[in-house]
Structure 1
Amino acid sequence: MEWLRRPRPSLSALSVLLVLLVNVQLSSAGECPGDGRTWVPYGRSCYHFVHGEEDRLKSYSFQRAQSLCQGFELVTIQSQEENEFILKYSPEVWKGNTNVWLGMYYDTSSERMRWFKGQNSSYANWERGSDEPSDLVPVETCVALHTSTGQWEKVSCVDEVENGVVCETSQIEMMTCFFGPSIPGGQKPSMALTVLVVLSVVVVMAISTIIWFLQQRRRPGAVVLTPFEYDPTAGGPYHDRSGLVEAEEMP
């Protein structure tokens, strides 16, 4: 029959389209701060390598290094891969061996080194002898990363100066909207937003189906069956017999 050969919207195809639209609506990507400084993305973080005059290393105290990050924290290293990233990128900024300040301090309550961001130091790459007793005052103990070896050394926050400063911040999440431009936000999409997106897609699909149905009705010679017009016994072997029975019962 001709109506069977006409293209109709597929339920499975519409389901796939719904999933794709929701995924596009809720997809997220990260961006680094746009404050005019050079930020290097890596993983889920962004890094700013502070440098002075070209081909010249400058020395910074720990307090000065913190102030150069301008509201952000000094770099925290949570894995061997992140440690290697700092080592490999440093020659792009500085020439020669560099000692980079790390955002770590001595926590008197736990009596251990901790990151300023609040994380415990689950990863560490201490140089040999770092666990031996030293003349450093615990509350004045900081940490520097040597780019020549990749190892960490405990140094004085007060008396020492280092020539490398790296600032770190988390990437800013960007929600990619299907029906509009990108909207910056630091939080993940809420349940209410998810429901709103799904409802919007369902409405669009319903309107598209109605438009398709009306277009098929207006096409010359098109036959569009509805559930009220369809009779599974029409033209069957029992159709004529039932008609005769009805005729005999009529007076």
Structure 2
Amino acid sequence: MSKCHDSSSEKGHEGRRWRWTSWKPDCPSSTWVQFQDSCYIFLQEAIKVESIEDVRNQCTDHGADMISIHNEEENAFILDTLKKQWKGPDDILLGMFFDTDDSSFKWFDKSNMTFDKWTDQEDGEDLVDTCAFLHTKTGEWKKGNCEVSSVEGTLCKAAIPYEKKYLSDNHILISALVIASTVILTVLGAIIWFLYKRNLDAGFTTVFSTATQSPYNDDCVLVVAEENEYAVQFD
């Protein structure tokens, strides 16, 4: 029965054809692969480890975390990419741990455990120091001891940043143009207001000076005085 299940799983995954892109601007570099809202990288170097934290450090050094899987499509995508591009081993260590506080498995990246692909295993097994592995031939998950001496490659995952996830290049360009236009209009408005105030103040000063100016200059006053004196003499 188990053999039948494995065969159908392989056949089902073989029938899928995923469109993966070796690199897109949303991911850090050309060594990453994008799928949905995340970027993935398989570090093929075999390393010696003392704990799962040593494996996790391989991912955090690249700004990512160990792989978490949240639906059947993502699980199948990983299998397909491991087979066609990454050429990974038979078993990949998943980024989860067993939390003894509430007796449940949790992802290291703190995302919700919304999906699982566990194989049928006996109930009541001791889960302390238990890690999870993805079997790359069937796509099923299995539990195993965390005390491994080495791993043949590490699968890491990083979420696409918000601004790249929700804002396309066109939206970013439009936003930049709107901001630039606003700044230009603000500067022009300030210049126009300054020129208006300067002309207004200059006009007011001219009117004030004209209003306070005497209607006669000194020469006119002198002539009038002489004429008055001459008129008195004749009288």
TM-score, normalised via structure 1 length: 0.52
Mapping for residues 80-119 of structure 1, pairs under 5 Å: 80-91=72-83, 92-94=85-87, 97-119=89-111
- Residue among 23, 32, 36 paired with 2:27: 32
Distance 2:112 2:128 in 1: 17
1:133 equivalent in structure 2: 124
Amino acid at match of 2:173: C
Percent identical pairs in the alignment equals: 28
Partners of 2:100 and 2:128 within 8 A in 1: yes
Structure 1 portions without partners, runs of 5+? 1-28, 53-57, 182-195, 204-251
The answer to whether residue 174 in structure 2 is matched with residue 178 in structure 1 is yes
- Residue among 15, 35, 47 paired with 1:42: 35
Distance 1:121 1:89 in 2: 23
Deviation per residue, 1:158-209 (Å, 9 max, x gap): 246442411111012334132649xxxxxxxxxxxxxx76x94xx7xxxxxx
* Superposed CA RMSD: 3.2
State the secondary structure of the residue aligned to 1:66: helix
Greater Rg, structure 1 or structure 2? Answer: 2
2:192 equivalent in structure 1: none
TM-score, normalised via structure 2 length: 0.55
- Residue among 52, 70, 78 paired with 1:78: 70
Normalized per residue, the structure richer in helix is 2
Partners of 2:66 and 2:109 within 8 A in 1: no
Mapping for residues 214-233 of structure 1, pairs under 5 Å: none
Q: CA deviation at 1:149?
A: 0.8
Q: CA deviation at 1:65?
A: 1.8
Distance 1:133 1:144 in 2: 19
Deviation per residue, 1:25-45 (Å, 9 max, x gap): xxxx971124xx711111100
Structure 2 portions without partners, runs of 5+? 1-23, 186-235
The size of the alignment, in residue pairs, is 151
Q: CA deviation at 1:60?
A: 5.2
Residues 1:177 and 1:161: Cα distance change in structure 2 (over 3 Å): same
Runs of 4+ aligned residues of structure 1 deviating over 3 Å after TM superposition are 58-61, 159-162
Query: Which one is further off, 165-174 or 146-155?
Result: 165-174
